[in-house]
């Protein structure tokens, strides 16, 4: 069981290359199942969720290999339509395979992804979208099985803009007869990236990034080459790290338009943030100030995934910062661990009030989930002494090599093997 050890209380000076986006690469890997050729995907981070996706693709009969940050998938001989429980449970977002398996084989058998640390994660919208396209579902003992004699275009209107359901609907609609119109679609940049990948394989999708996505079904998908967009949540984490520890850092391979809500919040601390091309340059304030209420919303609102690291950035800011979590029920679990480091966070339901303290002190803490773990890293950089973070498998689901990156930024971080 590895532990991240961070000796905090030193300012960050340095630069780092931001990895490709986890939330892009996972649906893209699933969508590669449609191809009757070889897909070469660049800027792919090395994450446990990527390893889990490749294991699912191999189980389905694809050849898949990762060479550095490039993944190569050959789906020509894919032949299975079932994903067993052990592979599904490796990754919380494995439901993203539903649309792709259904599109390729007109049937799919998956175990349910189950609840998770962020509270219940229903998949009703995914299922309704597949039903609209012609699939019949049957659910038994935690497994879903679905079948479609043919997939036919539909008008799909989501009651809320779910990221995963939008992606599943787009992927399945690519192989449906006719033109599907998805309304109240999620608008996240990763959905536009998926559209670009699908179109590179020969699909005809437009509108991704807006709330209406139009998919004209096609019958053949060929191989392609695609480069995954930069990970905006990893960039937000390292920007938060600079505010927490102080100093001056450069982040390369970023897309500033994906980060506006976070940049706006962190500038309120007094940080000077400049964006030039794909580089973000941040000079932290020596005396950070509290920020206006952060309210998480679907994109282009403030990302729920950026809420934990940004909260950790303002633990020592002068005044009180308020966070309202609207997307997931159970997304303040990092609050207790941050308080153990000396923070003053009060949580009532979906609202957390963070009153700045003079000092944080490093102690052993436990990562409760992926972004909650990132929040502990951010806080540890601003804490005096050593922080030991356990359960870092959560962090490895989303950060390629966070310890290496932190050391590039001038932090004192390492892995203890236990």
Is 116 part of the annotated catalytic residue set? yes
Q: Is 153 left (phi over 0), alpha (psi -120 to 50) or beta?
A: beta
* Least gap, CB of 128 to ligand UD1 (angstroms): 8
Of 83, 162, 88, the residue nearest 121 (C-alpha): 162
Residue with smaller CB distance to ligand UD1, 122 or 319: 122
Residue with smaller CB distance to ligand UD1, 26 or 389: 26
* Least gap, CB of 160 to ligand UD1 (angstroms): 5
Residue 228 near residue 28 (C-beta atoms within 8 A): yes
* Least gap, CB of 139 to ligand UD1 (angstroms): 14
Residue with smaller CB distance to ligand UD1, 96 or 413: 96
Residue linked to tokens 């699939």: 135
Whole-angstrom distance, CA of residue 174 vs CA of residue 58 = 22
Residue linked to tokens 């520890």: 245
Whole-angstrom distance, CA of residue 83 vs CA of residue 413 = 38
Pair of tokens at residue 238: 């390292």
Radius of gyration of the chain (CA): 21
Q: Count CA atoms within 13 Å of residue 95 on its CB side.
A: 25
Residue 131 near residue 124 (C-beta atoms within 8 A): no
Q: Which residues pair with 323 in a beta bridge?
A: 294, 352
Q: Count CA atoms within 13 Å of residue 307 on its CB side.
A: 31
Applying CB under 6 A, which residues contact ligand UD1? 23, 26, 93, 121-126, 160, 162-165, 186, 304-305, 327-328
Residue with smaller CB distance to ligand UD1, 165 or 224: 165
Burial bucket for residue 147 (CB in 10 Å: 0-12, 13-18, 19+): middle
Residue nearest to ligand UD1 (CB): 164
* Least gap, CB of 232 to ligand UD1 (angstroms): 11
* Least gap, CB of 76 to ligand UD1 (angstroms): 26
Residue with smaller CB distance to ligand UD1, 4 or 374: 374
Whole-angstrom distance, CA of residue 27 vs CA of residue 31 = 6
* Least gap, CB of 302 to ligand UD1 (angstroms): 10
Listed in sequence order, the residues at least 6 apart from 299 whose beta carbon sits closer than 8 Å to its beta carbon are 186, 187, 188, 189
Of 306, 117, 110, 140, the residue nearest 130 (C-alpha): 110
Q: Is 64 left (phi over 0), alpha (psi -120 to 50) or beta?
A: beta
Q: H-helix or E-strand containing 57?
A: helix 48-59
Residue with smaller CB distance to ligand UD1, 162 or 269: 162
Whole-angstrom distance, CA of residue 319 vs CA of residue 317 = 6
Residue linked to tokens 């992927």: 171
Q: How far is CA 336 from CA 141, 341, 365, 367, in A?
A: 35, 9, 10, 11
* Least gap, CB of 23 to ligand UD1 (angstroms): 3
Residue with smaller CB distance to ligand UD1, 96 or 383: 96
Whole-angstrom distance, CA of residue 192 vs CA of residue 173 = 15
Catalytic residue among 116, 146, 224, 275: 116
Residue with smaller CB distance to ligand UD1, 45 or 164: 164
Whole-angstrom distance, CA of residue 136 vs CA of residue 134 = 7
* Least gap, CB of 351 to ligand UD1 (angstroms): 17
List residues with catalytic annotation: 116
């Amino acid at each position: 069981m590895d532990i991240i050890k961070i000796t905090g209380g030193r300012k960050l000076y340095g630069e780092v290359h931001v990895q490709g986006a986890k939330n892009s690469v996972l649906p893209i890997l699933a969508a590669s199942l449609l191809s009757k050729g070889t897909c070469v995907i660049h800027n792919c981070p090395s994450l446990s969720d990527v390893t889990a996706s490749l294991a699912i693709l191999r189980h389905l009969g694809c050849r898949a290999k990762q060479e550095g940050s490039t993944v190569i998938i050959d789906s020509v001989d894919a032949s299975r339509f079932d994903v067993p429980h052990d592979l599904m449970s490796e990754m919380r977002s494995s439901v993203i395979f539903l649309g792709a398996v259904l599109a390729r084989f007109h049937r799919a058998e998956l175990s349910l992804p189950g609840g998770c640390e962020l509270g219940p994660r229903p998949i009703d919208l995914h299922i309704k979208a597949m039903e609209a396209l012609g699939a019949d579902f049957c659910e038994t003992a935690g497994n879903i099985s679905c079948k479609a004699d043919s997939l036919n275009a539909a008008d799909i209107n989501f009651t809320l803009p779910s990221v995963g359901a939008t992606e599943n609907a787009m992927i399945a609609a690519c192989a449906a007869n006719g033109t599907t119109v998805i309304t109240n679609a999620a608008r996240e940049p990763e959905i536009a990236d998926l559209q670009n990948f699908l179109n590179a394989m020969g699909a005809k999708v437009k509108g991704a990034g807006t709330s209406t996505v139009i998919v004209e079904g096609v019958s053949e998908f060929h191989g392609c080459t695609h480069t995954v967009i930069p990970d905006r949540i990893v960039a937000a984490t390292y920007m938060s790290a600079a505010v927490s520890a102080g100093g001056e850092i450069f982040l390369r391979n970023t897309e500033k338009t994906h980060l506006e809500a976070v940049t706006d919040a962190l500038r309120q601390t007094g940080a000077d943030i400049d964006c030039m091309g794909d580089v973000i340059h941040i000079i932290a304030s020596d005396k950070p100030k509290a920020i206006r209420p952060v309210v998480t919303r679907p994109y282009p609102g403030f990302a729920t995934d950026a809420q934990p690291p940004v909260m950790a950035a303002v633990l020592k800011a002068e005044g009180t910062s308020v966070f309202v979590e609207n997307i997931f029920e159970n997304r303040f679990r990092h609050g207790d661990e941050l308080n153990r480091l000396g923070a003053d966070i009060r949580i009532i339901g979906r609202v957390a009030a963070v009153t700045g303290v003079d000092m944080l002190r490093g102690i052993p803490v436990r990562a409760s989930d992926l972004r909650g773990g990132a929040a502990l890293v951010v806080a540890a950089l601003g804490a005096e002494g050593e922080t030991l973070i356990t359960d870092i498998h959560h962090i490895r689901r989303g950060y390629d090599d966070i310890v290496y990156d932190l050391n590039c930024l001038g932090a004192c971080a390492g892995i203890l093997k236990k």
